[in-house]
Structure 1
Amino acid sequence: MDEEYKKEQFETLKIKSSVAKKFRRFSRAMSKSQSISLLLMLEFFEDNGISPTESMGPKMQTLENLIKKRISGVIAILKDIEKGQTKPTVAMMQSLFQEAEPKKQTLILEKKNTEEKQPKYQERNQQDL
């Protein structure tokens, strides 16, 4: 027996024999005394504000919908973080740590200037000779 209720007296309840057998099986399955099993059931109903005659269907569905909405909100927040923070940061880090250096491209103006100067210089040298 439970220590807290050791000094209390037993009371009798009139319960049908089939219900009593089922309750005893339930109590053994929980490995609790019959008094504690009944007390736990009563506290469960009181704490959760439900009645044994009520159907739990609508309450469970509303709870499920609430959880789905919150999960959707969390997913939206994570996607926003990914778009706004993670992807740009990864792109910057990749650009910083790329091993290949970009090829140096000469300016188009520089090429024209060097090509034009060479023939003129060669023409002058030939005239001087």
Structure 2
Amino acid sequence: MDSFIGIRFKKETAKRFQQFSRAHFKSHTEAMAVMLDFFFYNEISPREKLGPTGRTIEANLKKRINAVIAIMRNMEKTQTKPTVAMIESLFQTEEPKKKPLILEKKFVKEKKEVHFQEKRNLNNEL
């Protein structure tokens, strides 16, 4: 069995470590070893900031997404809808009114009345 050594911590820090260790690990030794390994393998210092937190990243993403949505709505109003309306009006099929051609003449109904009558030859009929 490994031997133990005593390290002096302030009471508040020791209590915080004990609570954290009990919540995540089986023993305090395991908790400390994992934390030291984390800093060693990732080559970071516990004093340096790792950058924005998840909350700030999420807030920034929401802002950008809202900006993109606003841009798309504006494009839809100013470009897409008018263009679609113009294209639809081009493809609507309305029968154009039939206008008679200039060269086409309308024939008037012929009257069956005879304007001239042939002379009857009275001699031949008798």
TM-score range, shorter chain: 0.3 to 0.5
Structure (1 or 2) with the larger CA radius of gyration: 2
TM-score by length of 1: 0.43
TM-score by length of 2: 0.44
Q: Which gives a bigger RCO, structure 1 or 2 (Cα 8 Å, sep 6+)?
A: 1
